[in-house]
Structure 1
């Protein structure tokens, strides 16, 4: 599989340009209005802050087996990626970039990389196989972990209609039958599962760059 190069920002920008030239204007207007609203609302006031201990929630791996968050990270520092689902093109671009540009640096530092979404395990398996991801891609039914971090959102009615036109129905994609999902978020935790850095993107067309994540992890490893 081809290795992605260039910043995530550039790759997502290129995708948006292509989409703007192909999608019907009324659909683009729905997505743009949603993104503007998300940017205006900003990061939720309920979002977790550094110092929070992540709960040891039960997740489901891509093969459908229950696993605990703490067992997956195995007492290591960790980068946890909250993404919307395999149906989201921005998530596909981002997770492939993390495989190519972030995972090697984490391996050098002895840190885990874990991706979490509310989708069903078969969606996680699709994501993992499609991009040959070498890190755990887990399902968080009911958004238990994302809810604990206060990073939940849901699409507008107009966007739900636009998504349906493209064959996307979040109530069938998500394990709990709802359309609730996490804002794209990166969490850096230390070996004791304490949140040391959190980067939340209310606008799902923006994502954390690998260099920024590695810098945050390095700062966490240096201690207080």
Structure 2
């Protein structure tokens, strides 16, 4: 089953209000409203795109080790996945799909990292619960997400809903601001050029990792 098919099946179950989710219709309508407003804002179109130079970054993994995009790009192309956090089931399914695709990425000489604004303990939880072997990096205060044009502030009505679900983002992210990155996937060539970009304000929509392979093949021909 493709990643999107897996996500669609989960979404259908969740929005049907089936156990264990039991999501009320009003909550689902609120999520749809927030997604529609983010789409209409045009922010996704203003984010970093194909042909842009990717912002460089140095972030910590759950063990406190610094992971540098410059150092990774010296070895080969780089796949970067921005996700919301361990509390998001769609993100966890995506991490698992990326892990399954990792051998194909590595055959093309590429590295893979995932970035979220969550704290190191939550990134460690992401690593363990999803059995991933690639680095999950903590983007403190969403600075790297901001540099890529992905960071947005949740509307007040969505904050209220998240609070009712016990999704305490200030605690998850050690940041008083209620912000998140739009889910995004990038392939960066060794010269720093973005050769694949997928940014979607609808967090339930994620491309299959195999879609990155043509861009990775192209990236392998672009040296620093």
State the TM-score, normalizing by the size of structure 2.
Answer: 0.89
Question: Do residues 204 (structure 1) and 203 (structure 2) align?
Answer: yes
- Residue 109 of structure 1: aligned partner: 108
- Residue 138 of structure 1: aligned partner: 137
Q: Note closer, same or farther for the CA distance 1:74–1:134 as it changes in structure 2 (3 Å cut).
A: farther
Q: Note closer, same or farther for the CA distance 1:177–1:68 as it changes in structure 2 (3 Å cut).
A: farther
- Residue 11 of structure 2: aligned partner: 16
Deviation of 1:72 (Å): 4.4
Question: Do residues 181 (structure 1) and 180 (structure 2) align?
Answer: yes
Q: Please say if residues 72 and 78 of structure 2, whose CA atoms lie closer than 8 Å, have aligned partners that are also in contact.
A: no
User: What SS does structure 1 have at the residue aligned with 2:79?
Assistant: strand
Q: Please say if residues 55 and 148 of structure 2, whose CA atoms lie closer than 8 Å, have aligned partners that are also in contact.
A: no
- Residue 64 of structure 1: aligned partner: 64
User: What SS does structure 1 have at the residue aligned with 2:52?
Assistant: coil
RMSD, matched Cα: 1.9
Q: Note closer, same or farther for the CA distance 1:107–1:66 as it changes in structure 2 (3 Å cut).
A: closer
Which of 204-213 and 70-79 deviates more?
Answer: 70-79
- Residue 83 of structure 1: aligned partner: 83
Q: Please say if residues 49 and 198 of structure 1, whose CA atoms lie closer than 8 Å, have aligned partners that are also in contact.
A: yes
Deviation of 1:73 (Å): 4.8
Q: Please say if residues 59 and 137 of structure 2, whose CA atoms lie closer than 8 Å, have aligned partners that are also in contact.
A: yes
- Residue 194 of structure 1: aligned partner: 193
Deviation of 1:47 (Å): 1.5
Structure 1 runs, 4 residues or longer, greater than 4 Å off = none
d(CA) in 1 for partners of 2:106, 2:220: 14
String of CA shifts for 1:132-164, please: whole Å, max 9, x gaps: 101000011122221111112232222222211
- Residue 26 of structure 1: aligned partner: 26
Question: Number of residue pairs matched?
Answer: 218
Q: Please say if residues 75 and 192 of structure 1, whose CA atoms lie closer than 8 Å, have aligned partners that are also in contact.
A: no
d(CA) in 2 for partners of 1:69, 1:221: 16
Which of 51-60 and 20-29 deviates more?
Answer: 51-60
- Residue 3 of structure 1: aligned partner: none
Q: Please say if residues 48 and 54 of structure 2, whose CA atoms lie closer than 8 Å, have aligned partners that are also in contact.
A: no
Deviation of 1:67 (Å): 3.3
Q: Please say if residues 57 and 144 of structure 1, whose CA atoms lie closer than 8 Å, have aligned partners that are also in contact.
A: no
Deviation of 1:84 (Å): 0.7
Q: Please say if residues 109 and 220 of structure 2, whose CA atoms lie closer than 8 Å, have aligned partners that are also in contact.
A: no
Q: Please say if residues 42 and 202 of structure 1, whose CA atoms lie closer than 8 Å, have aligned partners that are also in contact.
A: no
d(CA) in 2 for partners of 1:99, 1:174: 23
Q: Structure 2: which 5+ runs fail to align?
A: none
Question: Do residues 166 (structure 1) and 165 (structure 2) align?
Answer: yes
